[in-house]
A and B are shown apart, each in its own frame.
Chain A
């Protein structure tokens, strides 16, 4: 696949977002490499989720630019962002709660399929064929994330961990080049975290870069290839887990001035 001239998958430059007097993002610049797992960490209120919302088009930034695969990313248009190849999950799980597990993933295929109203009304051959491929792909993805036997259940009856997995399957259904996970391990125990880590590594190996927000620093350091640290709406450090861990600015942000 041609990825333009850029060596970075995603380049954010000077992203600013204000809510009234609060500067939630204050000129965030960061770059993601393809085929990596990048962790976005920082203290509470650092602007991590706000950055996710800007990246995925839910918020329109007040300033700054986003380049994805070398091309400007549409701002404030979530459906176009998804079409360009960025899919996300949410901090507070946002499944289509009353639809079946399988249907949730099938909705994810929407952006890569095209059957319209006329196709549906007349049940054309092309529409039925496409519907079959949607179903097949959705089943594959449920197997992929490890909840293949749960397809007929209603989404909000799944266990918490399985709901997180379903959200990932739904996001993967859009064929993303970048998967953005907002606290995917929140509320999980150590064993569940380990299995989730395995899944995320497999997603990267299969060619989708991952950007994730997480509070469990130990887990993030083990999992991620690169780490970016946000504090007070600015990116204060970026690099390998080892480099970031020893960065005085990071230690200061987490532990306060004078901790070193």
Chain B
């Protein structure tokens, strides 16, 4: 019953939003879904395995560039979607292993610093791999990327279903929604599997876990690779949606933002992570609209919301850490950890 209501809501949401607020807001929803996907991936690394990763956006970048280079005039390659997305996910997963192999002897803060460095390295490589051989096209980025296309249907154009007009942003919404639902199912299955239990055990007590026969290094690598593959998948979707990628989309700021979504929502708990991602991607945009609202109601913009965004964001995080450090919808285990 509840599930049915949620399904109907998710189905009509983009059409209602489109009718009431316009394409721009559906686009915000699209990005919210993309962030949910990213946050779910990072949740595997941070929430399940307990490894702090500050360079997660690197895997997003790898997936995005994988799509961009294999489906654009840059190399004149035009792979189909069913090959592009798995390729991006796999490539990102192998970068996860590449990052994990030398670093997983490190713990906590030390690991976080190395992952931060890794994120920057990837971005700087993307920025500079235009000489001597032009691979990434440097700071200009890759443009004219093929739009997402499922079989004969390009999601990059308006469709008509009966009398219903389906704008591009709504096409994308449904594709991303499918991705998110899939990610939720897979996350749940992982969490409640032999592997998920092993991750939880490593998070709780690494020495005890190793003594029980868990190969901690390989299991952590697996967490990195799984999380990275979600990131790679989102990257591919992002590239196909935007039609353009450049290194400046993949800054440390993005990594921190995704981590905030996971922490704010409640790491380790899927519902919490989804909530965190939706809140942190939609609220800033809503705040932006507050400027226009002031103009209409008060005749002038008294407080420019774009100046306040970061302040409010920081304030929200400080309050969270003081009042509810386990997140809005915490996992059982986290809540116990912090509140005995």
Q: Is the CB of B193 within 8 A of A110?
A: no
**How far is B327's CA from A160's CA once the two chains are assembled, in angstroms?**
30
> Once the chains are docked, how many angstroms separate the CA of A86 from the CA of B228?
35
Given A56-B211, A95-B208, also A154-B190 (CB < 8 A): no
A111 within 8 A of B: yes
Interface-lining segment among B96-104, B125-133, B198-206, B235-243 = B198-206
Task: Give the Cβ gap from A53 to chain B, nearest Cβ, in Å.
Answer: 9
Query: Which residues of chain A are near B207, meaning CB under 8 Å?
Result: 58, 78, 94
Residues of B171-194 contacting chain A, CB below 8 A: 186, 189-190, 193-194
Is B196's CB under 8 angstroms from A120's CB? yes
Question: How distant is the Cα of A56 from the Cα of B186 in the complex, in angstroms?
Answer: 35
Tell me what chain A mostly uses at the interface: helix, strand, loop, or mixed: helix
Bound CA span A36–B315, Å? 63
| Known contacts A79-B214, A79-B215, A107-B198: A96-B193 contact under CB 8 Å | no
In the complex, the answer to whether A110 meets B186 with C-beta atoms within 8 Å is no
**Does B194 lie within 8 Å of A115, measured CB to CB?**
yes
- Given A83-B213, A99-B333, A174-B213, check contact A131 B208 (CB 8 Å): no
Which of A81, A113, A117 has the most chain B CB atoms inside 10 A of its CB?
A117
Q: Could you give 24 example pairs across A and B, Cβ below 8 Å?
A: A79-B214, A79-B215, A79-B216, A82-B213, A87-B211, A88-B211, A90-B211, A94-B208, A96-B200, A96-B204, A97-B205, A98-B204, A98-B336, A103-B200, A107-B212, A109-B194, A110-B194, A110-B197, A110-B213, A121-B189, A127-B193, A156-B336, A171-B212, A173-B212
B195 contacts chain A at the CB level, 8 A cutoff: yes
A63 within 8 A of B: no
> Using Cβ atoms and an 8 Å threshold, which residues of chain B touch A44?
none
A158 to B13, CA, bound (A): 47
Question: Do B215 and A117 have beta carbons less than 8 Å apart?
Answer: no
Chain A neighbourhood of B215, CB < 8 A: 79
A136 sits at the interface (CB 8 A): no
CA distance A123 to B195 in the complex (A): 13
In contact, B212 and A99 (Cβ under 8 angstroms) = no
Q: Are A174 and B212 in contact (CB under 8 A)?
A: yes
| B158 touches A (CB below 8 Å) | no
Known contacts A79-B215, A120-B190; A107 and B195 CB within 8 A of each other:
no
Q: Which residue of B lies closest to A84 (CB)?
A: B213
- CB pair B213–A79 under 8 Å, yes or no, is yes
| Cα-based distance from A96 to B208 in the complex (angstroms) | 8
Q: Which residues of B contact A (CB under 8 A)?
A: 186, 189-190, 193-198, 200-201, 204-205, 207-216, 222, 226, 332-334, 336-337
By a CB distance below 8 angstroms, the chain A residues around B200 are: 96, 99, 103, 107
Q: Are B197 and A111 closer than 8 Å at their CB atoms?
A: no
Whether A121 contacts B209 by the Cβ 8 Å rule is: no
Q: Which of A90, A106, A119, A123 contacts B197 (CB 8 A)?
A: A106
Select B204's contact among A82, A97, A111, beta carbons within 8 Å: A97
- Are B194 and A131 neighbours in the complex by a CB distance under 8 Å? yes
Identify the 9 closest CB pairs spanning chains A and B, nearest first.
A111-B213, A82-B213, A120-B193, A96-B204, A98-B333, A78-B210, A94-B208, A107-B201, A79-B215
A108 contacts partner chain B, Cβ-Cβ < 8 Å? yes
Whether the pair B196, A110 counts as a contact (CB closer than 8 A) is no
Residues of A within 8 A of B (CB): 56-58, 78-79, 81-83, 87-88, 90, 94-99, 103, 106-111, 113, 115-117, 119-121, 123, 127, 130-131, 134, 154, 156, 170-171, 173-174
Name B195's contact: one of A96, A120, A156 (CB within 8 Å): A120
Q: Which residues of A contact B337 (CB under 8 A)?
A: 98
Contact of B333 with A107 in the complex, beta carbons under 8 Å: no
In the bound complex, residues from chain A placing their C-beta under 8 Å from that of B333 are: 98-99
Smallest Cβ distance from A83 to chain B, in angstroms?
Answer: 5
* Contact call A110/B211, Cβ cutoff below 8 A: no
Closest to B335 in A: A98
B216 near A99 with CB under 8 A, answer no
> Which B residues touch A110, using CB under 8 A?
194, 197-198, 201, 212-214
A156 CB contacts on chain B under 8 angstroms = 336
- Establish whether residues B210 and A103, one from each chain, have CB atoms under 8 Å apart when the complex forms: no
| A58, A97, A115 — most chain B CB neighbours (10 Å) | A97
* Given A111-B214, A117-B226, CB of A96 within 8 Å of CB of B205: yes
Most buried by A among B215, B222, B337: B215
